[in-house]
Amino acid sequence: MSSAATNTECLAWGAPGDKAAKRLLLLGSGELGKEVALEAMRLGLEVIAVDAYRNAPAMQVAHRSHTVDMLDGARIRALVEAEQPALIVPEVEAIATATLVELEQEGWNVIPTARATRLTMNREGIRRLAAEDLGLTTSPYRFAENREEYRDAVAQLGLPCVVKPIMSSSGKGQSLVREEAAIDAAWDYACTAGRGKDARVIVEGFVAFDTEITLLTVRAADGTHFCPPVGHRQEDGDYRESWQPCPLHPDTLAACQHMAAAVTEALGGWGLFGVELFIAGEPSQPQTVYFSEVSPRPHDTGMVTMISQNMSEFELHVRAITGLPIGDIILLQPAASAVILAPGSSEAPQFTGMAAALQVPTSKLRLFGKPRCHRNRRMGVALALGETVTIARDRARTCASKVQVLL
Ligand code: AMP
């Protein structure tokens, strides 16, 4: 773990702006990056935020920012050479990962590792690592890069199946195909909505799971740590609400931790990872666990930890990547998050209803400050505690529903 070794050697840093400052170059400045930036600032790091558009959320709280196309390797290299960061911290998937691999070979510290960012940018890389190299249980799957291969894949896997571009997130280009008549439309959608230039898709057998969870897993100087499981509900491939803890049978929790340890160890480096797992069965009995995906960085569903734990996923990430110990992760109370989505497009969205929203007991709001929106863009999140997860979920949903995004 070369990045880990580098971290250990650098456990002294000066004030931001000083030549001994520890500079963190944040590649991706959305809502998750904003929280990472804030936590890094709390530990006295110098934060430089980067994204493809001006005034992105993390830019609003960083020491300085740059607006560049993050898939442009030459621009990323030029930025790294100019800023001389101690830590290069990718916060989104769509980055010039080949350049990160080169930079790491030259001695720059990419979090958690350049290989992890490359493998997880592409569904094929991480799926093959998990299923074929590590032997983890996943949905059955096939890859296809033209319509004929795609039809063969669907025929082999059967219906229903899930079709996704190999480079996409937040449900973009994803379809659940239930009937023959929908097969061709799913291919067309995956090809037009994916992030990459190639028409390459993964076709997955549909897993009839009962629960899906994110197991936030931290690799740090004092070992590997797990947060209590975060349950979540997705709609159209994107997260709508999450809660913690999510009840699991003890054997199931052990199986989840085993999978998360295996996949994060294979990716290597230090930092927090969001390991997404599907769980089939009820918690009264041992359940079946399927590995789905992993993000080598804080996870959107993990925003609930901003209220539920003694350390949020963002604080955990910053501690781990700076070489600091984690200690004990403590769940303070059952808690939930619910997203606030834009109802349509605007170049100058505004929020209203916050006063009513915060009438909900224990609730908190995070409004991300995104300067523009389109339909269903995530603009904020409501957080709440409860004596039970059910109470916390009701509160978070009620709080979120009171906030309106005006277009
Ligand atoms: P992903 O972008 O792969 O995380 O998929 C987004 C969401 O779609 C997941 O969180 C699940 O709710 C659902 N999904 C993805 N793949 C499958 C599958 N093979 N079977 C059932 N549901 C799935």
- The answer on pLDDT for 130 being more than 80 is yes
* Whether 72 and 219 share a structural domain: no
In a domain, 129, yes or no: no
Does residue 265 belong to any structural domain of this protein? yes
Catalytic residue among 44, 73, 125, 171: 171
CA distance 163 to 202: 6
In angstroms, the Cα distances linking 81 to 16, 74, 84, 233 are 18, 11, 5, 41
Pairing of strands 161-165, 201-205: antiparallel
Catalytic residue status for 2: no
- Ligand 1 atom closest to Cα of residue 123: 3
Using CA atoms, how far apart are residues 213 and 234, in angstroms rounded to an integer? 11
The number of helices, as runs of H, and strands, as runs of E, in the chain is: 13, 19
Q: Are residues 238 and 361 in the same domain?
A: yes
- Contact 51/84 with Cβ under 8 angstroms? no
211 is catalytic: no
Same domain, 32 and 86: yes
Same domain? For 287 and 355 the reply is: yes
Ligand 1 centroid, distance to 237 Cα (angstroms): 6
Q: What is the pLDDT of residue 8?
A: 53
C-beta of 206 in contact with ligand 1 (< 6 A): yes
The two tokens of residue 212 are 């899906």
Contact 244, 308 (CB under 8 A): yes
Domain of 215: which CATH number? 3.30.470.20
Domain that holds residue 163: 140-205
Q: Are residues 102 and 163 located together in one domain of the fold?
A: no
CA distances from residue 116 to 24, 35, 98, 121, 225 in whole angstroms, order as listed: 18, 21, 11, 8, 18
Tell me the per-residue pLDDT of 252-282, one tens digit each, with 9 for 90 and over: 999 999 999 999 999 999 999 999 999 999 9
The SS3 assignment for 139 reads: coil
The pLDDT value given to residue 194: 64
Q: Is residue 353 part of a domain?
A: yes
Mean pLDDT of the chain: 95
| Contact between residue 260 and residue 217 where contact means Cβ atoms under 8 Å apart | yes
What's at 136, amino acid-wise? L
Neighbouring residues of 103: CB distance < 8 A, sequence distance ≥ 6:
76, 77, 80, 88, 110, 114
Q: Is the CB of 162 under 6 A from ligand 1?
A: yes
Q: Which atom of ligand 1 is nearest the CA belonging to 232?
A: 10
pTM of the model: 0.95
- Residues 279, 396, single domain; the answer is yes
Specify the number of domains making up the chain. Answer: 3
Q: Is residue 132 part of a domain?
A: no
Instruction: Give yes or no: residues 112 and 242 share one domain.
Output: no
Answer yes or no: are the C-beta atoms of 221 and 6 closer than 8 Å: no
46 in ligand 1 pocket by Cβ < 6 Å?
no
Residue 101 structure tokens: 């691999």
What are 161's two structure tokens? 């199946």
In terms of Cβ atoms closer than 10 Å to its own Cβ (0-12, 13-18, 19+), residue 279 is buried
Specify whether 106 is located in the same domain as 150.
no
Residue 98, number of CB atoms within 10 A of its CB: 12
Q: Do 98 and 200 share a domain, yes or no?
A: no
Pairing mode of beta strands 161-165, 350-352? unpaired
Which of 86, 121, 156 lies at the terminal end of a domain, its last residue?
121
185 and 224 co-located in one domain: no
For residue 217, what pLDDT is reported?
99
Asked about 44 being catalytic, the answer comes back as no
Residues 230 and 377 both lie in one domain: yes
**Domain assignment present for 195:** yes
252 with 189, same domain?
no
CATH number at residue 86: 3.40.50.20
Does 290 map to a domain? yes
What atom in ligand 1 is closest to the CA of residue 169?
Answer: 2
pLDDT digits (tens, 9 = 90+) for 190-210: 998 766 556 899 999 999 999
Residue at a domain's end among 121, 155, 190: 121
Q: Is position 17 within any domain?
A: no
Q: Does a structural domain hold residue 90?
A: yes
Express each pLDDT in 367-392 by its tens digit: 999 999 999 999 999 999 999 999 99
**Residue reference for tokens 């569903």:** 301
What's the pLDDT band for 124 if we cut at 50, 70, 90?
A: very high
